[in-house]
Amino acid sequence: MTAILDPRAKLSVVFCLTSLAIVIQDLVLFAGLLAATVGASLVLGGDWRVLYRLRRLAGLFVALVVIQSVFGGNGQPLLQVGQLSLLTVGGLQRGLALALRIVVIVLASSILLRESSRRLVQALIQWHIPYEIAFMVHLAIRFLPLLQEEMQDAFVALQLRGVDLQTLAWRQKLQVYSFLFMPVLAGVIGKARELSIAMEMKAFRAVPERTSHFQLQLQPLDYAVMMGSLSVFVFGILLVFWI
């Protein structure tokens, strides 16, 4: 299914699911949206490994629940220390909603990870999005993994200079992280410079219109998926206002 569908159909699914994740506040609706996202991800070949990576944010989610409980101050207290509510029903609901929102957005977006960047750019162009913007999207997709790799390499190199993070105070650790940006930023600027030269050598923007031999063609199944995702979106919005 993932190879057959037009990228525009996949973009429609992702757009509808992520938009609903931003609009929805109610936990029951979120559970339904999560089920729909899991289903879409299964059918359209989403990358489930992204969920495993989210485990690093577990501490942040817990912290958000506590912050919402302490400063939000609504709902029945579930855990109190003196007069201070560390955990309330309202805080728990908001924290869970935020966690679910991130899970839905990440899982839905992962549907696009296995799509070829060339097909994605072509899909955007055929939606009459300016080629320059579509190309920027393509570059972002292409360079994000490289940036991640550079960051990891710099982090390793920094530690091999004898910087033992476990023995440093928090203030010094923050300084260490600030040092990491130097090689990454320099790398980005260098790559951008090389890329712009290469693009100009290929006459990028030399003429206002670009033609492409490669064209995407929407099939009946693509229309069905796009109509289906639009229906889910409209139904979701109606439920949000109704509830």
104 touches 18 (CB < 8 A):
yes
Tokens representing 64 are 């958000």
- C-alpha 152: how far from chain center: 20
Task: Give the nearest distance from C-beta 187 to another protein in angstroms.
Answer: 6
Task: Give the nearest distance from C-beta 151 to another protein in angstroms.
Answer: 10
d(CA 169, CA 232): 50
Closest CB to another protein among residues 148, 219: 148
Task: Give the nearest distance from C-beta 177 to another protein in angstroms.
Answer: 11
Task: Give the nearest distance from C-beta 164 to another protein in angstroms.
Answer: 3
Tokens representing 11 are 């973009």
Closest CB to another protein among residues 60, 163: 163
Task: Give the nearest distance from C-beta 138 to another protein in angstroms.
Answer: 24
Residue in the structure block whose two tokens are 């942040």: 60
Closest CB to another protein among residues 102, 180: 180
Q: Write the CB contacts of 198 (distance below 8 Å, at least 6 apart in sequence).
A: none
Burial class (CB in 10 A: 0-12, 13-18, 19+), 218: middle
d(CA 18, CA 112): 13
Tell me the residue ranges of DSSP E strands in 52-108: 77-81, 84-88
d(CA 150, CA 40): 32
Q: For residue 142, what are the CA distances in angstroms to 58, 139, 152?
A: 28, 5, 17
Q: Which residues bind another protein (CB under 8 A)?
A: 150, 153-154, 156-168, 172, 175-176, 179-180, 182-183, 186-187, 190
Task: Give the nearest distance from C-beta 147 to another protein in angstroms.
Answer: 12
Closest CB to another protein among residues 35, 157: 157
Task: Give the nearest distance from C-beta 185 to another protein in angstroms.
Answer: 9
CB atoms within 10 A of CB 111: 23
Closest CB to another protein among residues 98, 176: 176
Closest CB to another protein among residues 156, 206: 156
Closest CB to another protein among residues 28, 157: 157
